[in-house]
């Protein structure tokens, strides 16, 4: 019987340790969707190698990311969790879709330009073509919805262009996916540079899920606020980006509105507000860190999860790949 649930898919590269921005912007929202959607979440390890990786670190981060997914509430019984490179259909469809992606389209990708500047000594073909692999990641599972951040919107539009182009030639092969923007807390900014998104590349302004409570509190106490003289806790993303970012985090963690937060800290100033945000984040992340540490001691369980996930994902992906291969004229294998 055809699955009555809508399909949702997303993935994060294990190129660095997961942080608060990953959790509040993506993973927290994923965990509440399992009853409503057939969900596929993966560790996008194939995407990481466009930049040189230490092999041992990549393996460690991949298994840690799986443990963190589970600790964040992604029940393997309700969600399909897998490692991208364990499902060979991603690479195979990625190559096919490269042949239906125009050079000019890839040349216009902002992330390619940005990453080329940062990695001038390693501007490789994978870095250029990885939006085609990202399209394959998505389209293999014929998802109805793909949750994405603002920084991926350009790749999302390219994916939709590829679907339109391929279906225009061969008929309705791929479902046109809809892309969902995350809600509250979707864009968590760096604590030290609030004009930039929270990122592992700015570690002093980034709060990692596995970080110790004292280190988290220290980072929030040192967080950039504003140079204005009023020093009041008020949301104004343009005039007060630092305080507004802290309010966004506090709101996403506690569920309080900006109005509630402004009333709570009325007359107290930043000296009271910053430690309160730190304490709230510590309270949120401590059970996640402790559960991750527990899971990492049970390697056999984690292996069973990613093997079962790859088996299910591979079965679904193969159906799409066989259809694509037949349409473009490959002999059945």
Query: How many angstroms separate the CA atoms of 316 and 96, rounded?
Result: 18
Q: Which two tokens stand for residue 61?
A: 């981060």
Question: pLDDT tens-digit profile of 44-101?
Answer: 999 999 888 999 999 999 999 999 999 999 999 999 999 999 999 999 999 999 999 9
Task: Tell me the whole-structure pTM to 2 decimals.
Answer: 0.88
Closest CA to 67 of 312, 305, 333: 305
Give the domains, in start order, of the chain with CATH numbers. 6-187+299-328 (3.40.50.620), 203-293 (1.10.240.10)
Q: What is the per-residue pLDDT for 186?
A: 59
- Structural contact between residues 207 and 282, judged by C-beta atoms closer than 8 angstroms: no
Catalytic residue ranges: 115, 197, 200
| pLDDT tens over the chain, length 333 residues | 445 789 989 999 998 889 999 899 888 888 888 888 999 999 999 999 988 899 999 999 999 999 999 999 999 999 999 999 999 999 999 999 999 999 988 888 777 667 767 777 778 888 889 999 999 999 999 998 887 766 677 788 899 999 999 999 999 999 998 887 655 445 789 999 998 889 888 889 999 999 999 999 999 999 998 776 667 888 888 888 999 999 999 999 999 999 999 999 988 888 899 999 999 999 999 999 999 999 999 999 999 999 999 999 999 999 999 999 999 999 988
pLDDT, residue 150, reads 66
| pLDDT for res 228 | 66
CA dihedral 106, 112, 117, 123 (to 10 degrees): -70
188's CB contacts (< 8 A; 6+ apart) are: 20, 21, 24, 25, 197, 198, 245, 248, 249, 252
- Cβ 13 vs Cβ 83: under 8 Å: no
């Amino acid at each position: 019987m055809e699955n009555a649930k809508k399909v949702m898919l997303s993935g994060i590269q294990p190129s660095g340790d997961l942080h608060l921005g990953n959790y509040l912007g993506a993973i927290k929202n994923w965990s509440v969707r399992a009853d409503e959607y057939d969900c596929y979440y993966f560790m996008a390890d194939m995407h990481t190698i466009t930049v040189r990786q230490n092999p041992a670190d990549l393996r460690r981060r991949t298994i840690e990311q799986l443990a963190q997914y589970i600790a964040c509430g992604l029940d393997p019984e309700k969600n399909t969790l897998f490692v991208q490179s364990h499902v060979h259909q991603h690479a195979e469809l990625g190559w096919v879709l490269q042949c239906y992606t125009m050079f000019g389209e890839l040349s216009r990708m902002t992330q390619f330009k940005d990453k080329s500047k940062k990695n001038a000594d390693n501007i490789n073909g994978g870095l250029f073509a990885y939006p085609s692999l990202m399209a394959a990641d998505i389209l293999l599972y014929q998802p109805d919805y793909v949750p994405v951040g603002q920084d991926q919107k350009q790749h999302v539009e390219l994916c939709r262009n590829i679907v339109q182009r391929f279906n225009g030639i061969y008929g309705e092969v791929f479902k046109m996916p809809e892309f969902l923007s995350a809600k509250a807390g979707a864009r968590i900014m760096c604590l030290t540079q609030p004009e930039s998104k929270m990122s592992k590349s700015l570690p002093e302004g980034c709060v990692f899920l596995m970080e110790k409570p004292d280190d988290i509190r220290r980072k929030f106490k040192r967080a950039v606020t504003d140079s204005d003289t009023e020093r009041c806790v008020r949301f104004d993303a343009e005039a007060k980006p630092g305080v507004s970012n802290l309010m966004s985090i506090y709101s996403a963690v506690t569920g309080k509105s900006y109005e509630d937060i402004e009333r709570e800290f009325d007359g107290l100033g930043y000296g009271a507000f910053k430690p309160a945000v730190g304490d709230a984040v510590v309270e949120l992340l401590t059970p996640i860190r402790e559960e991750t540490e527990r899971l990492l001691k049970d390697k056999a369980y984690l292996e069973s999860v990613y093997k079962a996930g790859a088996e299910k994902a591979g079965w679904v992906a193969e159906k799409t790949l066989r259809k694509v291969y037949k349409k473009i004229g490959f002999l059945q294998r």
